[in-house]
Amino acid sequence: MSIAHNQLRLARELWARLQPLDRSVPHRLQALLADRRFGSRDRRLYRELLFTAMRLARALATLAPGDEVAWAALLAAHCADTRETEAFRATYSRPDIGHSAPAPLSLLPPWFASEHDPALPVPPAEIAAALLARAPVWVRLQTDSPDDILAEWSARGWFSTSHPALPEARRLPPETKATDCETYQKGHYEIQDLGSQAILVALDLPARSPGPRWLDACAGAGGKTLQLARLLGPSARIDATDIRPAALAELRARAARAGLGARIRTLPRPDPAARYDGVLVDAPCSGSGTWRRSPHLMACTTEADLASAARMQAEILRASAVAVRPGGLLVYATCSVARTENRAVAEAFLAGHPGVFDEEPISRDLGFPRLAPAGPGLAITPGPQDNDGFYVAAFRRCG
């Protein structure tokens, strides 16, 4: 049996064992690839083949169960061209099968097109194609002197590109092990997608913040908390809350590594009596904007999930609004491209708080398309800038 034929046999075996595609896939995939049969190159190969299969899952499901040729041809046509996939691609590439690429929208959930915001001057098929692409590694610099970072990357043969509108954002090739670097361990940069970085930069902080005291109400492991602390400068005092103790522990470690520990305090829940200059609600959501990194979510996210997430997001916004002092900012963000979780939640919040909160216009669109006609917030759409999908809206308390 040739190397490629053995690779196909193992890929199909792993694919069968990975079913069903639900939210436990990342954990189960990690366990499957921990098999002692696999070396590091094997793990890279099967991870790439399985991620490709997740992106193509709807097309693969239409093939006859025993049609290994068509199954392999689709994967060979659409997986990344790497040293690890070379034998597989050379053996199974079939122009008559693999190059008849499925339409991007046909690979996404049926509800996707109806959740596309008609106010966006970008067709849903274009966003679908971007969500099916491989994601690069984006990092956010946490130093004003990145020479040591660039020197270490260069020594490893890594080439990075900077973003014209976000000078602290640097793009590295997919699968780059950026956390292995000494400069990362020193806190000189963090892994953070370009779209995630754009959320706070679009608000033009600190110029439009009424003060340095902020609450990060859904901090998680703190990527945006660290970015906020750096944007607001040495006077920043940020309370970061999350219901998960492990996430807050990771945030404290990251803040200490970055030298930002004095600016950030972690709490299990907000102080009900505290009032802040700004409150960031980076709300739990469907994660549809992250499908290129988490393609398994395409198979298990339903319209009911979107509706449930929107109800939770609205409740978190209402609860967080009371912590904003007069003149302060309330920022709502998701990593979703679904209208139900984005503009619909923002509009409902404004409608439910007349005379209490006003829409705060987004200061910088950073090259992302504005909603037309104008609506609250900015859709940070996947596409030419090679970012995941996000949404951000801001509200200022009256008085």
Instruction: Kindly list the catalytic residues.
Output: 335
* DSSP class per residue in 239-283: EEE-S-HHHHHHHHHHHHHHT-GGGEEEESS--TT--EEEEEEE-
CA separation (Å) from 112 to 59, 104, 106, 373?
A: 16, 11, 10, 21
Q: How far apart are CA 249 and CA 244, in angstroms?
A: 9
Joined together, the tokens standing for residue 173 give 């090739």
For the chain, how long is the longest CA-to-CA vector?
Answer: 75
The alpha-carbon radius of gyration of the chain (Å, integer) is 22
The order of strands in the sheet holding 161-162 is 161-162, 169-172, 137-141, 189-191
Q: How far apart are CA 232 and CA 279, in angstroms?
A: 13
Q: How far apart are CA 159 and CA 137, in angstroms?
A: 12
**For 360, phi and psi rounded to 5 degrees?**
-100, 110
Joined together, the tokens standing for residue 152 give 């270490």
* DSSP class per residue in 277-335: EEEEEE-----GGGTTT-TTHHHH--HHHHHHHHHHHHHHHHHHHTTEEEEEEEEEEES
For residue 173, whether the previous peptide bond is cis, meaning omega lies within 30 degrees of 0, is no
Burial 154-185, CB ≥16 within 10 A → b, else e: eeeebebeebebbebbbbbeeebebeebebbe
The C-alpha torsion from 303 through 308 and 309 to 312, rounded to 10°, is 160
Q: How far apart are CA 386 and CA 383, in angstroms?
A: 6
